[in-house]
Chains A and B, each alone.
Chain A
């Protein structure tokens, strides 16, 4: 009986010849991740267990990225818990300000997660690494603590759902649109407890940055993990980033899927998710008149260099509309530096935007761009729940970087086509 890529990775992690959906297994992990929100609680648990070391000093990553640079005393205290623990336990992958980036952009960039890996992270968007052909899923602080101690985690093998994306993407349609479209079709619990496997020629053609975006948002459909079989693009991405060996897995032809859904991407236009669920999606031509107060380009979903490049392409020579705030957040120091060297910062600044250091900040209503009552933002982030970016009576609309940049200029939600922007390619 054939296995899916998810089943193959999990079987290998459990040292079993095969696994089946529903089976409870214990797997060896390749990386355990925590941030300044989730790791303090996990560290408290590890300490109270009386443990003096973690299972592997190189396979634990502590990334203070949510309320960093520390927004207040409490946030500073949380990060200090990580810093002290990292020092005391000899954690290799602790990232101080200056090296620190948004965790799900930082780990792949540093080669800390690779194809074939099993990764658990105390952050729901840990599923991002599925873009590399890894099994990666979010857990809570207790599971992180147990994993830091034992190097293992128990999992239920998920059923797999196959998403086949046919055709060629129209201009300004990104990975963000492909995943928002799917979430709009199946709903925020449409893939509950399941693996979401993305395939098809449109995925083959998709740049790595866009693949990360798609896997990142699997959780927004309730998915346990999102995954894309590694190929030449994956190989090119991981080459030179790590000395550790990676393993390419692929689904068997006779693998079993609980559901198969097919889309023709040539018929998909840029998507906008309306408040207050990522599934409230509409094509850009059906948005209507939605004025905005703020535009945010960044986050683990769309804060990569390619995202900033497309935003800059739209913003070049244009000005942000009066009374609209544009916030650009490169996700890592490397992205920050590249964007600066490429002159993207000049474009953002001349347009009237500001550039933030790497942080999760506004995405979760933490800091660096909180919304007041009644305000409305368009963002390249991943969630638009009630109160997500600030006041419970504010609104967040999700879109790709091109649409977000264009909306900042228009002062209302709209696409780059309205501004007469010519696609790059």
Chain B
């Protein structure tokens, strides 16, 4: 599977309060959460972001709260993927469980600029920045995680397996 999308850039320590502020946590509806995604950092982000776009961030992306509403909001915006220097632990877990694709790749954050078009080969973890002729290697997603992501997250994945059995 190959992803192609426009890059939105964020810095280090993008916390879950920024991804989706707590004042909106009286729902878990993806469409409503998506409308407020990143609003304290960039109030117009939710209007600007297009399906398939990619976030590139620095260290410790998703630090803070355990709210699964954070990956839900990002996925709800149509973002195909988040590439960061590193991820906070609970966010990392939640992203996979929710079926949001993420890649750790320290070099990408330095090389890419907002608005660049990025191409990612999901199986190999190869990242290309079109127009700049740059390519990077992120840690590839293990096959069972890829299957989980294809199924749309942990629960649909488990349900599919249960049905098969």
Contact surface of A with B, Cβ cutoff 8 Å: 37-38, 40-41, 44-45, 48-49, 66-67, 72, 74-75, 77-78, 121-124, 126, 138-143, 145-146, 188-189, 192-193, 219, 222, 224, 277, 364-366, 383, 385-388, 392
Once the chains are docked, how many angstroms separate the CA of A377 from the CA of B129?
Answer: 43
Cβ contacts under 8 Å, A66 to chain B: 22, 25
Q: Tell whether A74 pairs with B27 under 8 Å between CB atoms, given A37-B67, A189-B13.
A: yes
Once the chains are docked, how many angstroms separate the CA of A143 from the CA of B71?
Answer: 14
26 A-B Cβ contacts within 8 A? Answer: A37-B69, A44-B28, A66-B22, A67-B25, A72-B26, A74-B27, A122-B66, A123-B65, A140-B71, A142-B94, A142-B153, A142-B154, A143-B97, A146-B154, A146-B155, A146-B158, A189-B59, A189-B88, A192-B86, A219-B64, A222-B63, A222-B88, A277-B13, A365-B17, A383-B64, A387-B40
Cβ contacts under 8 Å, B26 to chain A: 67, 72, 74-75, 77-78
Cβ contacts under 8 Å, B64 to chain A: 124, 219, 383, 385
Q: Are A41 and B65 in contact (CB under 8 A)?
A: no
Within 8 A of A (CB), among B1-44: 13, 15, 17-18, 21-23, 25-28, 39-41
Q: Which residue of A lies closest to B159 (CB)?
A: A49
Cβ contacts under 8 Å, B17 to chain A: 364-365, 383, 385-388
Once the chains are docked, how many angstroms separate the CA of A386 from the CA of B63?
Answer: 13
Listed from nearest, the 5 A-B pairs whose CB atoms lie closest are A74-B26, A140-B94, A140-B68, A142-B97, A392-B40
Once the chains are docked, how many angstroms separate the CA of A124 from the CA of B89?
Answer: 10
Cβ contacts under 8 Å, B81 to chain A: none
Once the chains are docked, how many angstroms separate the CA of A145 from the CA of B28?
Answer: 15
B90, CB-defined interface residue at 8 Å: yes
Q: Are B66 and A139 in contact (CB under 8 A)?
A: yes
B80, CB-defined interface residue at 8 Å: no
Q: Are A366 and B59 in contact (CB under 8 A)?
A: no
Q: Tell whether A385 pairs with B15 under 8 Å between CB atoms, given A142-B153, A189-B60.
A: yes
Partner of B67, one of A38, A75, A143: A38
A145 CB to closest chain B CB (Å) equals 7
Contact with A along B94-120 (1 / 0, CB 8 A): 100110000000000000000000000
Q: Which residue of B lies closest to A382 (CB)?
A: B64
Q: Tell whether A140 pairs with B93 under 8 Å between CB atoms, given A145-B155, A222-B60.
A: yes
Q: Are B23 and A366 in contact (CB under 8 A)?
A: yes
Q: Which residue of B lies closest to A44 (CB)?
A: B28
Most buried by A among B21, B23, B65, B98: B65
Once the chains are docked, how many angstroms separate the CA of A219 from the CA of B90?
Answer: 10
Cβ contacts under 8 Å, A366 to chain B: 22-23
Partner of A123, one of B66, B71, B94, B98: B66
Q: Tell whether A40 pairs with B28 under 8 Å between CB atoms, given A364-B22, A383-B17.
A: yes
Q: Tell whether A193 pairs with B89 under 8 Å between CB atoms, given A72-B26, A365-B21, A387-B17.
A: yes
Partner of A124, one of B21, B27, B69, B90: B90
Q: Are B63 and A188 in contact (CB under 8 A)?
A: yes
Given A37-B22, A72-B26, 4 more pairs with CB closer than 8 A: A38-B67, A41-B69, A142-B153, A387-B21
Q: Which residue of A lies closest to B91 (CB)?
A: A140
Q: Are A140 and B67 in contact (CB under 8 A)?
A: yes
Q: Which residue of A lies closest to B72 (CB)?
A: A41
Q: Which residue of B lies closest to A363 (CB)?
A: B22
Q: Are B155 and A140 in contact (CB under 8 A)?
A: no
Q: Tell whether A124 pairs with B22 under 8 Å between CB atoms, given A192-B89, A222-B60.
A: no
Partner of B63, one of A77, A189, A224: A189
B144 CB to closest chain A CB (Å) equals 11
Q: Are B68 and A188 in contact (CB under 8 A)?
A: no
Once the chains are docked, how many angstroms separate the CA of A192 from the CA of B87?
Answer: 9
Most buried by A among B25, B59, B66, B89: B66
Cβ contacts under 8 Å, B93 to chain A: 139-140, 143
Q: Are A140 and B97 in contact (CB under 8 A)?
A: yes
Once the chains are docked, how many angstroms separate the CA of A366 from the CA of B67?
Answer: 14
A122 CB to closest chain B CB (Å) equals 6
Cβ contacts under 8 Å, A146 to chain B: 154-155, 158
Q: Are B90 and A138 in contact (CB under 8 A)?
A: yes
Q: Which residue of B lies closest to A189 (CB)?
A: B60
Once the chains are docked, how many angstroms separate the CA of A139 from the CA of B88?
Answer: 12
Once the chains are docked, how many angstroms separate the CA of A219 from the CA of B88?
Answer: 9
Cβ contacts under 8 Å, B90 to chain A: 124, 138-140, 219
Once the chains are docked, how many angstroms separate the CA of A74 from the CA of B26?
Answer: 6
Once the chains are docked, how many angstroms separate the CA of A105 from the CA of B23?
Answer: 23
A86 CB to closest chain B CB (Å) equals 18
Q: Are B66 and A387 in contact (CB under 8 A)?
A: no
Cβ contacts under 8 Å, B15 to chain A: 383, 385-386
